[in-house]
Amino acid sequence: MNSFQSCLGKFLKYNSCDEEVLLVFLRELWPQIVGEELAANCSPSRLKSNRLILKVSSEAWKRELVNLNRTMVRTINDYWKVRLVEKIDVQIHSKRD
């Protein structure tokens, strides 16, 4: 997995201007990055100017993720081996979203 992450980091550096491509990879690997429990309750919605928008399932998860903001930024960037995210915003979504 380390060699995959290393190659992925290089790929992302070269494609860092295409935030839609980055978001696809982020969504696909989300459970591996943040863990199954967290991934079951939040998901990447948008990435713009190094700001990641997460959709969460409840107010309680929103509060939890706001408190974990810096840790999650570091976890995401460490996973990619590039500075992909600088800030995370959290929004509650309904089942209809």
Hey, what domains does the chain have and what are their CATH numbers?
2-92 (3.30.300.180)
33: tokens are 């990055």
pLDDT of residue 46: 96
Residues 6+ apart with CB under 8 A from 22: 12, 15, 16, 47, 84
* Residue 84 pLDDT: 86
**SS3 category, 15:** coil
Structure-token pair, residue 6: 């290393």
Q: Containing H/E element for 81?
A: none
One pLDDT digit (tens) per residue for the chain, 97 residues: 555 555 555 565 555 557 888 899 899 999 999 999 999 999 999 999 999 999 998 999 999 999 999 999 999 999 888 888 999 999 998 765 4
Are 80 and 8 a contacting pair, CB within 8 Å?
Answer: yes
Q: Which of 28, 15, 77 is nearest to 52 (CA)?
A: 77
The per-residue pLDDT for 90 is 96
